[in-house]
Structures are given as structure tokens and as C-alpha cells.
Amino acid sequence: MLWNWQLPDWPHFHFEKSCLRDAETEFLKGSGVVVGAMQHLDKDANQHLVVQLMSQETVESSAIEGEVLDRASVQSSIARHLGFATDRRRSTPTEAGAAELMADLYRHYAAPLTDQSLFEWHAMLMNGRRDLDVIGRYRTHAEAMQIISGPIHAPHIHFEAPPSRSVPSEMAQFIGWFNRTAPGGIDPLPAIERAAIAHLWFETIHPFEDGNGRIGRAIAEKALAQTLAGPTLTALAATINTYKKAYYLELHRASKTNQIENWMVWFSQVVLEAQSRTLRNIRFLIEKTRFLDRLRGKLNIRQEKALLRMLAEGPDGFQGGLSAQNYRSITGATSATATRDLVDLVALGALIRTGENRYARYSLRL
């Protein structure tokens, strides 16, 4: 079987451009809505949102690769890089490096892509690693770069990338295309089209020993941000992680052909859903501020603690709703006190109750 990079038409990708027309229009409209919504946030809320969304992307992009990062540590590290107030929480080398990459992307999204910028990203991402032969440079090993699964004695090969000796020339062609197709370049492309091709092309080359997925998603974010002339804060990795199985399946399918219409359509749908998630997070933060302002001076310490804990879960809140038992665990209240507090919160319009007795569940009234 031949992979896409072994076909005569590589790297000339083919698809019907009309398949993305509506998605491109919707993305640009949605970006305007996001910008408008963020204008309702004060400086502190805006900074909080930026750190929250960036840390979410950092954690979720690593989660796609099976790596678990501590969200609070990543948030603290990103806040430090951006010059915001922080609790100086200690981060592991992996968390610090991943956060540094995301902060660099946020600050320098408009800069051209270069070998050196990719080397710096890789060095950040591989911070603290001792098991790789090459860090901050393209791979050089002679053996094939393969994505495999299954037992060692009978591995299943999902993809094989171009040999290491071809990587410098492949990356020169890719980087040249990426910069030519940027806004203001000699051959600018629409946002989603450019991001989708860039991600697939980079993942095909697979130029580093490790970290290709995370860097490839950062490149897609860079492409979107350059078109919008501002950091996108699009929840791309978080959305991809929701559909991780489909993501790998679509990449695998696209690795066998340079007719990539299916990949382009799938990726465009992910981008639009990611943008909707971002807007939902912004609106949630706005409603959270209004919610707390409305209840200021009306809550006891237990109630305030419980509500803040619920709000920390984000727009989706507690899965299945808050129970009286949850309330007691959060606040340390007795059963009788918890019952009185929850009845009071419903009366104040802070919570909505569904169910009865031990099946009663409470959700935020935002």
C-alpha cells in the first residue's frame, strides 16, 4: 500500500472548494460574535478567560496523546508567561513546557512559520525529556517513523511517514506554502481551508521524534489566528479530544490519498463546534459575573462555597446535578442545615430543583 506522500500528486491536495464555502462564512461571522462578546468583559475577567481557554487547550491537546497535565499548574504557568497575577504554583517540566508553547503561540501568532520557531516549540514541549535522541531539531533516525498499535510481535501499522532524510526538504516545501498562503502572502487562503491542509500536511511529514500531534494542532490554531488578525482562543484541541476516535480515523483515511474532501469537511465541522464552545465559555463567564452580583450579600459562607464550586465546573456544571450529599461534602454541613441552605438557594433564584427527596438534584439558574 502507498501512503499519500508516496503518490505522484503529493503534496497537491484535491477537494471541491465549494464544500467549505458555508463553513468559512460561518466561521468569520462567529469570530465577530466572539469579539463582541469579549467586549462585555472587564480587564480581570478578560485575563481570566484567556488563561482559562489557553490552559484548557494545553491540557486537552496533551490528553489526545494520552498525557495527563494538572490544569491548575498549567493555568499558573500560562499566567506567568503572559505577565498576569499568579499564585506561583509549581509546575512539572512537562506542564511548564506545554504552557510556554501555548503562550508563545498566543503572543506571536502573526509571525511567519520557520524551522527555528518549530524547533523552539519542540524544545518547549519536550522540556525535561531524556528519552529522545533529538530535541529541538527534526528527526534523524534511519529506521522508519511509524504509528503502530498492537503487540510487538504482530504490530498494526496505521501510518508510515517520509524517511528522516526527506524531512528537511519536505518541511521547506510545507513552510514555504504556509507563509505564502497567509493573509498578505502571495497566495492567501481562507482560514479553515488553510488550517485543515496545514494540520494534515504537517502530520503526514511527522518531522519530530515526538510531539507532532500537539505541534500540528498549534499550527492549525496559528493559521486560524492569522486570518482573524488576533489570537483565536478557539477550543480546537478540546473539541478534537471529544471526537478523538473520529479524529484519528479521519487522519488515517486522509493518509492514503490526496483527495481530501472528507477530511476538509470533517475538520471544518470541528472548527465551527470549537468556536461555539469558546463563545459558550465567554457567555458563561459573563453570566457568572451577573449571577454573583445578583446574590452578593444574600448568601451564607456555606452557600457561597457550594455555588463557587459549581461554577468552577464551567458551562456544563455538575454532571447529573448537585445532590444534598454533594452539598454536605463540599460545605461540611449537617443534613438538616444542607436542606435549609438548598431550599433557601432555590427561593433566592440561585438554583433550580428537579426530583424529590433523595433523588432531588440542583442546577445553577443562569
Active site residues: 206
9-33 b/e (C-beta count within 10 Å ≥ 16 → b): ebbebebeeeebeebbebbeebbee
Binding residue per annotation — 210? yes
- CA dist 322 and 290 (Å) reads 21
Judge whether 341 and 300 are in contact, CB under 8 Å. yes
User: Degrees (nearest 5) of the Cα angle 342, 344, 347?
Assistant: 115
To the nearest 10 degrees (0 to 180), the angle between helices 93-107 and 71-82 is: 40
244-265 b/e (C-beta count within 10 Å ≥ 16 → b): eeebbebbeebbebbebbebbb
| The residue type at 186 | I
Binding residue per annotation — 66? no
Binding residue per annotation — 211? yes
Greatest alpha-carbon pair distance for the chain in Å reads 74
Cβ-count burial of 363 within 10 angstroms (0-12 exposed, 13-18 middle, 19+ buried)?
Answer: middle
DSSP state, 361?
E
DSSP per-residue codes, 110-149: TSPP-HHHHHHHHHHHTTT--S-S-SSS----SS--EEEE
Binding residue per annotation — 283? no
- Beta partners for 89? none
Binding residue per annotation — 216? yes
Binding residue per annotation — 215? yes
Judge whether 200 and 24 are in contact, CB under 8 Å. no
Positions of E strands within the chain: 146-149, 156-160, 351-354, 361-364
Residue 65: closest CA among 250, 269, 248 = 248
Grid cell in block for residue 351: 438554583
Cβ-count burial of 332 within 10 angstroms (0-12 exposed, 13-18 middle, 19+ buried)?
Answer: exposed
- CA dist 258 and 59 (Å) reads 31
Q: Where is the binding site, in residues?
A: 210-217
Q: Where is the binding site for ATP, in residues?
A: 210-217
